C-alpha cells in the first residue's frame, strides 16, 4: 500500500507540474496591428502599432522593429517578445524631429484579459510639457 501511495503522489505532482507549465504566461509574440489607449499624466491618446518585423529582419535576432502612429504622428522603435521590453520614438508629423521617447514593458499575455503596458516617457519638446521623464501606461 505504501507503494501505491507513492505512485499516486508522484502522478498528482507530475500532473500539477504539467498543468502549471501549460498555463504559464509570456509577453505577446507580436504587437503588430494593435491599438492601445495610452495615458501620459492626464493626456489620453491612441497608440496604433501598425507593423512588427519578423526575426529575419536586420538587427532583429532577439527584438523586432515596430512602426505605427501616436495620435497623428509616427512612431518607430523595437519590441522584444521574449522579455516584453518596448522602446519607441514619437516623431513630429511635419519635420520628423523626435518629440518623446517611450521605454517600458508589455505585461504577460493572458487569454481573455486586457493587455497592459507601462514605463517612462522622456519629453524632448516643450510642446508636450516640461522637459523630463514621466510615467505612462496603456491598455489594449
Of the listed ranges 20-29, 61-70, 98-107, the one predicted with least confidence: 20-29
Tell me if 78 sits within 8 A of 64, measured CB to CB: yes
User: How far is the C-alpha of 114 from the C-alpha of 122, rounded, in Å?
Assistant: 26
Give the residue, 74 or 126, on which the prediction is more confident.
74
Segments making up each domain of the chain, as ranges: 27-139
For residue 57, is pLDDT > 80?
no
Class of the CATH domain delimited by 27-139? mainly beta
Amino acid at each position: 500500500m505504501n507503494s501505491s501511495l507513492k505512485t499516486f503522489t508522484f502522478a498528482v505532482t507530475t500532473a500539477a507540474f504539467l498543468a502549471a507549465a501549460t498555463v504559464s504566461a509570456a509577453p505577446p509574440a507580436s504587437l503588430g496591428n494593435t491599438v492601445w489607449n495610452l495615458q501620459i499624466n492626464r493626456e489620453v491618446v491612441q497608440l496604433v502599432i501598425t507593423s512588427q518585423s519578423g526575426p529575419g529582419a536586420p538587427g532583429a535576432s532577439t527584438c523586432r522593429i515596430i512602426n505605427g502612429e501616436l495620435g497623428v504622428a509616427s512612431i518607430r522603435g523595437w519590441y522584444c517578445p521574449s522579455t516584453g521590453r518596448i522602446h519607441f520614438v514619437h516623431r513630429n508629423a511635419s519635420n520628423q524631429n523626435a518629440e518623446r521617447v517611450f521605454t517600458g514593458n508589455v505585461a504577460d499575455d493572458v487569454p481573455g484579459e486586457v493587455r497592459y503596458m507601462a514605463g517612462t516617457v522622456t519629453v524632448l519638446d516643450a510642446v508636450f510639457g516640461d522637459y523630463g521623464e514621466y510615467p505612462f501606461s496603456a491598455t489594449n
